[in-house]
Amino acid sequence: MVEIALLAFLVLVVLLSLGVALPYCFGAGLMVMVLVGDATMKGMMLWGFSQLTNPILLAIPLFVFAGTIMSVSGIAASLLKFVNIFVGRIRGGLGVVACISCAIIGAISGSGLTGVAAIGPLLIPEMERKGYPRAYATALVANSSILGLLIPPSVTMIVYGWVTETSILASFLATLGPGLLIMLGLSIVNMVMARNFPLVLDEPVAFGVLVKEAGSRTVHAIPALLMPVIILGGIYGGIMTPTEAAAVAVIYALPVGFMIYKGLTWKSFLESSKESATAVGAILIMILFSLMLSQIFVMEDIPQALVEAIFEITTDKTLLLILVTLFLFAIGMVVNDITAIILTAPLLLPLMGALGVSPIQFAAIMGVTTAMGGVTPPYASILYLGARIGNVKFTEVIKPAMILLLFGYLPVVVLVVVWPDLSEYIPAMLGY
């Protein structure tokens, strides 16, 4: 059966390389297991649909909807102005605004694409006006939007906790430390690179004027800032489950968008609803097929066979973790982070257990490695979207994006792998 599983995986990889839509790729791999192996499609379809009714998954469409509303309602613009007043006047400060704003948005939407969609149209033209190369500004916003996949609540970690039966709250917290470090790393790299740009800085103002402006923007941003406070406070305070918090995020975003910031209209609300429904439909179909294929692999003891085969190569923990990290990074380059986790987490979790790696640290490893796929070709969905929003050629964005990834992101990936406390300390401190 291992040979059949390898054949199914080969079919999956070939179709992905040819650019076939993700659900069809996983459906083809599934058909190989059914037609050549002894899996039954009827039983797997019934099992797959029963899994999709899990209330935990309801958090995904709700967070997607909340993020879509936020991007058109004026909430993102208010957050941007709030952050800019504190760091926008220093050299390279506008780039730091991008990093911090995307981190805050990540604490609301749980999605990487939302950061690009909400921040890109506002910040990229402004950064170009201030002297940043447009391709660099686009790359920085796209790379910073990865934080939406790491700063809790994260849709990726909801799926990881569901698939591996790990506490979702612990999974959220596992990527919090790495996410904040990546935000810091990207900010530092930006400050260094900004020295080479002919930046136009705002004229200095009197301290009293600055304080008055900061106070005004803070008051204006309070409704937007309350959103992550309510979501995260409700989750970690034990008041709400992640699914309930996602519902509260939607309920809160509607009156704030309609009545306070007034960027949300009935027309934009209906368009946001349609956009969210389309995105969620595609995500759930993809989840269904990838989950079924992954479950067949588990039923056929493929994970155990994989563990035995890998231990025949080496038993060195560090080397194995490096190999697993490279494998996850390669998977993330061809599929999105949710698909990568559903497909590989059940396969690799027994191996991690044998190595003494906790499910919480593994959550962080999977989170930071698969998230990189959003800005690394050929998948690079976040980077492609950023290039479209920034109106620049994709080839122009690649170089600055890779520089930011290499010096601002990869060092944190290494730390996550070799330093368990980076992902385990905060969950342990809160009792997980």
In whole angstroms, give the CA distance from residue 111 to residue 92. 26
- Is the Cβ–Cβ distance between 115 and 106 less than 8 Å? yes
Computed on alpha carbons and rounded to an integer, the radius of gyration of the chain in Å comes to 22
**Can you spell out the DSSP letters for 406-423?**
IIIIHHHHHHHHH-THHH
Token output for 25: 């790729």
- Can you give the pLDDT at residue 125? 83
* Unique residue bearing structure tokens 């190595």: 355
pLDDT of residue 207: 62
Residues in the chain predicted with pLDDT less than 70, given as ranges, are 1-3, 16-17, 19, 22, 38-39, 86-89, 107, 109-110, 200-207, 209-210, 300-304, 306-307, 334, 378-379
The conformational region for residue 327 under phi > 0 = left, psi -120 to 50 = alpha, else beta, is alpha
For 170, 293, 364, 411, the CA distances from 143, given in Å and listed in that order, are: 25, 31, 18, 14
Give tens-digit pLDDT for 288-341. 777 777 777 777 666 667 667 777 777 778 888 888 888 888 777 767 778 788
| Contact yes or no for 372/405 (Cβ under 8 A) | yes
Q: Which residues contact 56 (CB under 8 A, 6 or more apart)?
A: 158, 161, 162, 168, 242, 243
Closest CA to 150 of 178, 187, 184: 178
47-75 pLDDT per residue, tens: 777 777 777 777 778 877 877 787 777 77
Domain ranges of the chain: 40-429
The predicted pLDDT at position 338 comes to 80
- Residue 184: predicted pLDDT: 93
N-terminal to C-terminal alpha carbon distance within the chain: 38
Asked if residue 229 lies in contact with residue 256, where contact means CB atoms within 8 angstroms, the answer is: no
pLDDT value at position 185? 93
Handedness of CA 172, 289, 345, 328 (dihedral sign): negative
Q: Is 309 exposed, middle or buried (0-12, 13-18, 19+ CB in 10 A)?
A: exposed
* Total length of the chain: 432
pLDDT given at position 86: 67
Residues of the chain above pLDDT 90, percent:
11
Cα 421 to Cα 424: distance, rounded to the nearest angstrom = 5
141: Cβ–Cβ under 8 A, 6 or more apart, which residues?
A: 98, 102, 115, 116, 119, 120, 123, 124, 386, 390
